[in-house]
Amino acid sequence: MDLVVLAASSGVEMADYEQSIQELIDAFGRLPGIGPKSAQRITFHLLKSDKAESERLVSAVSSAVHKIRYCEVCFNFAESERCAICRDENRDPHLLCVVEEPRDVVAIERTREFRGRYHVLGGAIDHLQGVGPDQLKIRELLIRAAEEGITEVILCTNPNIEGEATALYLKRVLDIPGLTVSRIASGLPVGGDLEYADELTLGRAIEGRRTLEQ
């Protein structure tokens, strides 16, 4: 990300633009996944097209920024005190899925496999970025686990160093009688060929194999 910012504001291509255009290019360039070339393309697209299109964008950004806050229960994005999932009476109140970011909630929701509720930590333990357990919504998770009658917590943090450490930590602190703590499985993509799976994933999949019911 720093590189993009550097490149976008390094002044290499700066000279020829009007100031407001340059400011817009810089603003887009600071967004994740957008390099200087894309920032320039988006800017010129907006300036060339109908003013109404830009205004729709402006109002969409502005209303999202003003309306969206964190759900007081699960810390997912919400438009009111509690998010749509926490308000949904049809959700299983005994099942809780713990994820790092709101976008992970969206990913799991898309599967339609999970009918419980969520808890968004707001990241993973990463001391190099100054993120310890205190910076995550872990205290809130413990209170929920103790008070909401939850029977199973599914740890869905990412399968990388930080995510695994966070899951290990949560396993330790969620030592509550009657509470099952499980970890999301990692393995092969559906519809793929064993032949093309990388060795690590395949190794994990073999490790996490399960017995077929007769």
Q: Considering the complex, what minimum distance in angstroms separates the CB of residue 15 from other proteins?
A: 18
CA 22, 32, 5, 3 torsion: positive or negative? negative
Burial of 19 (0-12, 13-18, 19+ CB in 10 A): exposed
Please, what is the minimum distance in Å from the beta carbon of residue 148 to other proteins?
A: 23
Which tokens sit at 191?
């519809």
Instruction: Give the DSSP H/E element, type plus range, for residue 36.
Output: helix 36-48
Write down the least CB distance from residue 1 to other proteins, Å: 12
User: Binding residue for other proteins (CB under 8 A) from 5, 6, 58, 84?
Assistant: 6
Token readout for 102 is 């709101």
Is 185 among the residues that bind other proteins (CB under 8 A)?
A: no
- Nearest in space to 174 (alpha carbons), one of 147, 151, 145: 145
Q: Which region, judged by CB under 8 A, interacts with other proteins, from 29-37, 102-110, 130-138, 179-187? A: 130-138
Tell me whether residue 8 is exposed, middle or buried, using C-beta atoms within 10 angstroms of its C-beta: 0 to 12, 13 to 18, 19 or more. Answer: buried
Contacting residue, 172, 178, 191, 211, with other proteins by CB under 8 A:
172
Binder among 15, 52, 65, 128 for other proteins (CB under 8 A): 128
- 192 near other proteins, rule: CB under 8 A: no
Least gap, CB of 104 to other proteins (angstroms): 20
Give the binding site for other proteins (CB under 8 A).
3, 6, 125-128, 130, 132-134, 161-162, 164-165, 168-169, 172-173, 199-200
